[in-house]
Amino acid sequence: MRRSHVTTVSLLVALALAACTNAKDVLEPSAITPPATSTPSTPGTQGSAVPAPSPADPAIAGNPATTTTPVSPSQSAAILSKTRLQIAPIVGASVEAATPLTAELQTRARQRGITLAGSTDQTATHVLKGYFSAISEGKDTTVIYVWDVYDPAGNRLHRINGQQKSASVNSGDSGGGDSWKGVSPATMQAIADQTIDQFAAWLGGKAG
């Protein structure tokens, strides 16, 4: 009889411990708090904490706020027609080489619809300053050029540079002589054409 009483007490203690363990499990925060990544669902949503971006959101690819409108040919022509370009004296080139260069600069500018301003013209919108050097190697002479574009206040806005190889027109001057004597007028005219074309392209490009 006593042994039966002890057994009954043991069972009661075991049931009490089991009840305490279950209660502890229920009271754990993880058992009653939903995961941090989930949010209560509301009608019309799928429980996402981040609202869907609207079509007007500039962060969406393809939104007009992130695109650049290209400049049309008519707009580019209008920009060039308002440009008054002043060409400063050429630095580094001989008078013989600079003469066909400046003449072609004027011709090409007119072809592109750009007005040239005189050295004393106060209405110039841009000033073009050129720096040149010539290097002879055997029968060939290479002309290296750099153009800086300034605004009327003297701020540099753009740089154009390059080089043009010319078959020497006077092979006797190659080496230690005057390299400019080996530069043909056609070479300087080609540089002038490239310069004005790049200047016009820059004007149209920066407007867009």
**Over the stretch 142-192, which tens digit does the pLDDT of each residue have?**
999 999 999 999 999 999 999 999 866 664 444 456 899 989 999 999 999
Q: Give the model confidence (pLDDT) of 81-102 as tens digits.
A: 899 999 999 999 999 999 999 9
Rounded Cα distance between 204 and 80, Å, is: 8
Domain count, the chain: 2
Give the domain extent around 19: 2-32
Beta strands, E only, the chain:
84-87, 115-117, 126-137, 140-150, 156-167
Whether 79 and 28 map to the same domain: the answer is: no
103 lies in a domain?
Answer: yes
Does the model's pTM come out above 0.85? no
54 lies in a domain?
Answer: no
Query: Using N-to-C axis directions, what is the helix angle for 73-81 and 185-207, rounded to 10°?
Result: 110
Whether 159 and 102 map to the same domain: the answer is: yes
Helix (H) or strand (E) segment spanning residue 188: helix 185-207
Whether 22 and 113 map to the same domain: the answer is: no
